Structure 1
């Protein structure tokens, strides 16, 4: 993929929220749509004035670990990292290679954005290229817990599914998120605060 139009990434994220909540829960559509808008508004605030690159799908449980391995890597310490993280040396090589490729893609995307996006994009950068999916998981979970009365386990599972759906369908896309372009929608009313069934959530 390539550059997204102004705040198009947020629309795609809201779409992923609706797809996952519709397919994996019994939440009424009115509440699904409101939840999608809440997540969109939250991420617009979190990512404001940043160039956001959507990385290739990685299992959420491995995101932080792989980032730490890549940060700790000095070019020669594969055996040390293998022992530290309990992985084979071959697996360390593979993780470093994958993270390096994602870093290069993200950097290229940022350079393109710096040259072509309007009004302030020339000074922006994505300082957390590998934490984008973790952002989605954490903030989506928080929104679902607060506005749909889900427990943390349910909300985390749905947040993970939404991040994975977003990455699967939009990886390689990048865009500049301008500050102040979305407004916080009214809170979901009490009719949306109920227990839901998440038995169909798939865990990798």
Structure 2
């Protein structure tokens, strides 16, 4: 996609294509050509879906927060709330709340709903 588009929006699409290519190569071990093709395809799909619209690119605070919350839950051993609070710089109450919410979501994902019809997981 390099050189096809101009201006900040074009730079964004060029970077998107490049970042997807690098991620595909690093995460899945695809060839450079396959990664580049995937990156270009993703950028073209974004153009089809969002072309001509004004976009605001958030900083990803929610995604980062979610990642940290899941990391806290993964490191939780049942008795290390204070350690996690110190490590991540959150209050003890916040750590308890994160674990409560993620533990409930985890349990719900493992247990089928008793009231849903069979075959509707």
State the TM-score, normalizing by the size of structure 2.
0.46
State the TM-score, normalizing by the size of structure 1.
0.29
Instruction: Pick 1 or 2: higher relative contact order, CA cutoff 8 A, min separation 6.
Output: 1
Relative to its length, the structure with more helix (as a share) is 2
